[in-house]
Chain A
Amino acid sequence: MTEDPVIQVRGLRKSYGATVAVDGVDLDIFHGEVVALLGPNGAGKTTTVEILEGYRHRDGGTVTVFGEDPQHSGRNRRWRARIGIVLQLTGELELTVAEIVGQYAGFYPRPRDPADVIELVGLRGLEGRRAQQLSGGQRRRLDVALGIVGRPELLFLDEPTTGFDPEARRQFWDLIKQLAADGTTILLTTHYLAEAEALADRVAVLAAGRVAATGTPDSLGDRAGAPALVCWDAPDGRQAVTTATPTKVVAELAAAAGGGEVPGLTVTRPSLEDVYLELIGANK
């Protein structure tokens, strides 16, 4: 790609005392991409994101977001207006949903209509409810509303669906897909692999403060080219073959079955989870 990346990170380092949190992260994120940062707790996800958001200073490396160094542009209001940050907060307790979303809309030069945002995050009907009376899931939707009300070009989501039930997570994913379809560049951290697989164009796995691998969810860790496991039921029990050429194995099985069905046939590649566990395990 020839366009400048929205986010460019080179050799990013950050320590807290003797603990190295981020140890040489490189990352490019381009306009319109949805990128998931995956990694176990303590891998440096939140630290990396907070440096990009301009909340934290780094110890080394270079970072640009929209061509500017967040460390210096954290107070640049025009730069801030292009960025949305979704934080997990207990937050403003005494104000109503409509009051809080309206308040945040007032900070931005081109905000979305607060009523639209409230509908978009699924809080319609709760406009008059105070934040402290919302359920945990509803409060997270409010957090998202505050992150997107300014119509950001770049949205940061730090573990956005932690604590969601499966249905709420599905709805939240639909919302993120809508925002992505709208052209919003999105960087999310998560430790749910299904979330990364459902949402991300690209996944970067962080382990011990470094990017251990990056790629599309399908190709991560050469998943598409990894040996496949072919299983089927034979008269003398379940058979399993690990092979680099599963198509050939299946063709031979089909031929042996005389054109009929091969009973119980499955072909599996390593799941994203298998690849992920190997990546973070190998780097420990």
Chain B
Amino acid sequence: MARQGNAPPDDLAVVLATEGAHGPVIYATNRAARAAGITTGARVVDVQAICPDLVVEYADIVGDARALAQLMLWARRWCPWTVTDGADGLIFDTTGSDHLWGGEAAMLIEMETRLSLLGLSAQLAVAPTWGAAWALARYGAVRAMCPSGDSMAAMLAPLPVAGLRLDRETLVVLQRLGLKTIAALAAVPRLSLARRFGRCALPANPLLRLDQAVGVLGEPVASVDAPPRVRAEARLPDPIQDPTHYLPGLCDDLCAQLAHRGLGCRKLQLTVYRSDGEVSMVDLVIASASRDARHLHGLFKDKLDRINPGYGFDLITLDAGMVDALATLQTRLDGTSEADVQVPQLIDRLAARFGSKAVRHPLVHPSHVPERAERWASVGRESAGAGQGTVEITKERPIRLLTTPEEVRVLYAVPEGPPAQFVWRRQTHRVTRYEGPERIAPEWWKDRPGTRLRDYFKIEDQTGKRYWLYREGLHEDGRGGDPRWFLHGMFA
């Protein structure tokens, strides 16, 4: 919200909520809410009783994680080794890079300034170990700096045990034992702690966490590689109205870069910057990694017409996303086109024109319930043919299935007889032959309680059309009234 410029004022209590077991619970709070005594984990309804003018927003946890990962890469401006820490922290290994910023204190001030320019508030600390930095940033002084050696233990000593990255249950145990600060925990003999918490996992083991904090147990920062950035751009001296003519050149440039690095992309983003500051984007997703400039250029056909040119464009960029390694292979000697490339390219062209939701790939899925026996995967996620042949189909199944089964009025011998005549779409069909019933029970691990079983009949009417009818439920099965009949599919 702060980035969009519509952040609520700081004196208004704002909380972020997430779905809990019994209604929404508080996920994060701002300063005013903390001052009002609201803690994370409390139920929103309870808190609203205490603080009626509370502003509740739903937390976007996945989006936050993505933003934090981006921030982690952005933070490589200060040091090359950065990694995300939990849902709300970043760890930098600044060893050897602090002098570039004029010492650790100056570096912390620089970081805080830069982050506040982004609209982010930060609590920073420098310490020789990951654990100590974590504790000092959350429970220590503002911009705490911790020297290595014995004085580190002295700085950690007054902090609460919550600074040791322990889980909630362990904190409760420690509180009951009367161990409130790290100093109190460190004063307990190691042998006693080892005996009490010896078998616990790392987040529930105060001894290991203490060792990590003081540096007895190593905890290196494993930096994540940023994905390579491949981008082609055209800067224009004068604004133009139609970006179409620059597109082939951009595609060639991008594909040359990809080929040079041995990569292929599965996503393309064309960004057009208007001279009056507006930015328009066109996104494309590709079925299989590609660096074929002609193919990529073809996908943008008819897409650019929707961009409002305004006063003209002066910068066009083309970014490649979801970059994968793509080796150069020659499968044939005669130079003809390779057949296995054609189908993914066809899927790309269809998906580029009609959207990726319109193009789908039905796969056989192991389930007895007919509508679950096929799974509609969007093409491109899985290669064509994957999952085929793994499921044995033993029963005869119809060739067509209605998207939703249609209810029919059926004349049948009560309670469980075959259908004799039915009315479907205002036409009467007389059943001359039938096969069945084939009973398909609901999948109790997926269906809602009370779902009725189905008895399927393959029937043939007087004109020879073959249909798949089912009766939902039984008389007196205690799951609703009389059974209902549905038409579900057609046989060849």
Check if A and B associate.
Answer: no
Interface residues in chain A, defined as those with a beta carbon under 8 Å from any beta carbon in chain B: none
Interface residues of B (CB under 8 A from A): none
